[in-house]
Amino acid sequence: MKKSKIFIVLLAVGIIVFGTIQLGIFKVNNAREEKYTKNQSDASTHDITAIEDYRTSYMGDATNVTKLFSVLPLNDLPKTFEINSDTRSLTVNYSDSIGVVGEERIKKNMVYNSIAAMSAIDNLSEITYNFSDNSYFFDRGKIKRILGNPLSELLDKEIWDNQVQSKLNSNDFIRQFFD
């Protein structure tokens, strides 16, 4: 009888210790995942390797385009897409206004997303971003002139960090895409 009580007590202690450890690991993993998700919604902290699975030569795959933009900054904003394979153009229609989201956030993230999308989709020529109160246009030729590299080469993490991400906090860098 005494052995069975000791066994039950040890079992209960073991379950409590195991549960506490598991809960702690869950909280750490959950916090890590929340931080990663938050970082993915801002161009300054986004991990460009997240788009690796969406690299393609042709832009005609609507599912691929949708998934690509779901892992890029501004992924938290409701949007629809229009793809024109003939002109190799993409239109992203956001339901929010720039005033609600913030012009600085919008501009920085549109620059980032445009460079990322054109680096990942070889034949994507232009992107138009429509908001309820304004529209912006990006074209591959202008992006190539500004960055001076074949765009697909930019997706190497070190090159991306040096040529794109590290420059995003410079108003001069951002402004040249809108001139």
52 class by beta-carbon count within 10 Å (0-12 exposed, 13-18 middle, 19+ buried): exposed
Q: What is the pLDDT along the chain (179 residues), one digit of tens a residue?
A: 677 777 676 767 777 767 667 666 655 555 565 655 555 778 999 999 999 999 999 988 899 999 999 999 999 999 999 999 999 999 999 999 999 999 999 999 999 999 999 999 999 999 999 999 999 999 999 999 999 879 999 999 999 999 999 999 999 999 999 98
28 located within any domain: no
pLDDT of residue 115: 98
12 located within any domain: no
13 located within any domain: no
As a three-state string, the secondary structure of 97-163 is: CHHHHCHHHHHHHHHHHHHHHHHHECCCCEEEEEECCEEEEEEHHHHHHHHCCCHHHHHCHHHHHHH
pTM over 0.85: no
Please give the full DSSP string across 41-97, using - where no structure is assigned: TSTTT--GGGGGGG-BS-S--HHHHHHHHHSSTTTTS-EEEEEETTTTEEEEEESS-
Domain range for 118 is 41-175
pLDDT of residue 93: 98
21 located within any domain: no
Q: Residue 93 phi/psi, 5° resolution? A: -105, 110
CA distances 19 to 9, 13, 22, 162, Å, are 15, 10, 5, 44
- Which residues is 92 bridged to in the sheet? 81, 129
pLDDT of residue 23: 64
pLDDT of residue 24: 63
- Which residues is 83 bridged to in the sheet? 90
**DSSP-derived 3-state class of residue 170:** coil
18 located within any domain: no
Structural domains of the chain, count = 1
106 located within any domain: yes
Token pair 């190497």 is at which residue? 156
